[in-house]
Amino acid sequence: MGTVGSGVVQIIKKNQDKLMHQIGCPVVIKKILVRDLSKQRPIEVEAELLTDQADEILFDQEIDVVIEVMGGVQDTKDYLITALRQGKHVVTANKDLMALHGSELLTVASEHGCDLFYEASVAGGIPILRSLVDGLASDRITQMMGIVNGTTNYILTKMTNEGRSYEEALKEAQELGFAESDPTADVEGLDAARKMTILATLGFSMHIDLEDVAVAGISHVTEEDINYGKQLGYTMKLIGYAHRNGDNVEVSVAPTFLSNNHPLASVQNEYNAVYVYGESVGETMFYGPGAGSLPTATSVVSDLVGIIKNLRLGVNGKSAVSPQYPKSLKNDGEKYSKYFLRIHVQDEIGVFADITGIFAKHQVSFEKILQLPIKKNETSEIVLVTHQASLTNYDRIIQELYDLQAVKEVKSAYRVVRKS
C-alpha cells in the first residue's frame, strides 16, 4: 500500500465498471500485504483487507492473481515463486527483480501454466513492453534508445534550462520526491541499466544479463559540459542504448549529447521516452510519465486485465515466448559512436598537432573543434567532437592522450548521437 499499491487499489475501485466491461466479471481485492497494520494509508481501505502475513495471500486458494509492488529482490523472488507454484498468476512492477531473475521466474510461470506480466517494470505508464511483444511482434528490432530514468532526466533538465549545479538539481529532485535519499541507483545509471536489460531481452529476443550492460552515470556531469554542448547544438541526457548489427548486440547506459533536433532532446523533467527502430516500421517513439502512483498503476492494472482475459479464455501460461537467439555480444571493435571530448593541455606550440596526430593514427577525424584559453596555469582547453570511431580506437586514443606530456587532463568524454 505504498505509492504504486495505493494507485492500483484506487484504479480498481474507481474503474470497476470499465473493468467489468473489458473482462466480463468484477475484480475483487481479497487481501493486501502491509508491514504495519496501524499505519495511515494514502487512501482508505477496509481493515479486514489488510494483513502483515504473506502466507494469507500466497496460500489462499480463492486468490487467482498476485500483484507485487513491494520492491526488493530476494524475499520478493521467493514470494513470487511460491505464488506461481500455487498456481497464482503474477503482475510485478519490479525492474530489479525482472532484470536479475526474470528468466527464472518466467520459467517457473510456464511450468505451472501461469502468466507473469511486468509491463510497469520499465518506463512507468508507457506501454513499451506490450508494444515490443505485441505491436511490433512481426518486425525485427534493430535499435532501442531512450530516457528510462525520470530522476536523472529531471536533474539534467534543471542543469540545462536553469543553470543549476548537479548538487542543487539533485537536492531539489529529492525534496520533490523524484529522487531517493540515497540516489545512487538512479544517478549512477544502475536503474536505467536494469530497464535496458529487460528491453533488450524482449526487443532482440536474446537473453541479456545485467552484467552485459556498460554503465556510466551523471554524477560527474558539470555545468561546463552542458554549456559547451549548448554551444555545439547538443542537449545532455542519460541514454539507454541497445543496438543490433546482424547477430551481435550491444547494450549501454551513459550520459549522451543528443543533437537538438533529436526527438529525445525535447523530453523534459521526470518524463521518459523510448525510441525504437524496426526494419519494417522504421522509427517509432513512446513517450509519457515514467513513474508516479497512477501512471505506474495504470500499467499494473492493464496487466491484470490481460491475465483475467486469459483466465476466462483458458489460455494462461501460453503467452511467454523464450528468447529466439543465443546471446551474441559485440566486441569493442564493433561498437561505433561519435564522441565529445574536453581536453586540458599546456598552452604550447605544437600541442594541437600532436593531439591531431594521435587521432589521425587511429583514423578518427573531427566534426567540430573549439579551442579556448584558460587564464590560470598557462593551460588551454580543447573541445572536440569526432566522427564515428570504434570503441577500441577511442580507448586507445584516450590512453595515448594521457601519455602525451602536454596533456594535463581529459576533463570529460561523452557519446554523441545526431538525428539521422
195 is a catalytic site residue: yes
pLDDT given at position 100: 92
The active-site residue, picked from 195, 237, 335, 338, is: 195
pLDDT given at position 124: 80
**Burial of residue 331, with CB atoms counted within 10 A of its CB: 0-12 exposed, 13-18 middle, 19 or more buried:** exposed
Domain boundaries along the sequence of the chain? 3-124+293-313, 142-289, 332-417
What is the β-pairing status of strands 213-215 and 234-245? unpaired
Distance CA 411, CA 364 (A): 19
Side-chain-side CA neighbours of 196 within 13 Å: the count stands at: 31
Provide the residue-wise pLDDT of the chain in tens; the chain has 420 residues: 888 999 999 999 999 999 999 999 999 999 999 999 988 888 889 999 999 999 999 999 999 999 999 999 999 999 999 999 999 999 999 999 999 999 999 999 999 999 999 998 998 888 899 888 888 889 999 999 999 999 999 999 999 999 999 999 999 989 888 888 899 999 999 999 999 999 999 999 999 999 999 999 999 999 999 999 999 999 999 999 999 999 999 999 999 999 999 999 999 998 999 999 999 999 999 998 877 788 889 999 999 999 999 999 999 888 777 788 999 999 999 999 999 999 999 888 888 899 999 999 999 999 999 888 776 667 889 999 999 999 999 999 999 999 999 999 999 999 999 876
pLDDT given at position 420: 64
Return all residues near 378 (Cβ < 8 A) that are at least 6 apart.
346, 347
Q: Are 299 and 93 contacting, i.e. CB atoms less than 8 angstroms apart?
A: yes
Distance CA 71, CA 74 (A): 10
Q: Rounded to the nearest 5°, which phi and psi values hold at 29?
A: -85, 120
Distance CA 113, CA 85 (A): 9
**Burial of residue 64, with CB atoms counted within 10 A of its CB: 0-12 exposed, 13-18 middle, 19 or more buried:** middle
Q: Are 117 and 234 contacting, i.e. CB atoms less than 8 angstroms apart?
A: no
Q: Which CATH class is domain 332-417?
A: alpha beta
Distance CA 288, CA 297 (A): 14
Q: Are 261 and 119 contacting, i.e. CB atoms less than 8 angstroms apart?
A: no
Side-chain-side CA neighbours of 165 within 13 Å: the count stands at: 3
pLDDT given at position 223: 94
Distance CA 342, CA 409 (A): 9
**Tally: H helices and E strands in the chain:** 14, 16
pLDDT given at position 376: 65
As a three-state string, the secondary structure of 214-262 is EECCCCCCCHHHHHHHHHCCEEEEEEEEEEEECCEEEEEEEEEEEECCC
The fold for domain 142-289 equals Dihydrodipicolinate Reductase; domain 2 (3.30.360)
Do you know the residue count of the chain? 420
Least Cα distance to 252 among 335, 363, 178, 153 occurs for 335
Q: How far does CA 142 lie from the centroid of its chain? A: 17
Q: Which CATH class is domain 3-124+293-313?
A: alpha beta
Q: Which amino acid is at 256?
A: T
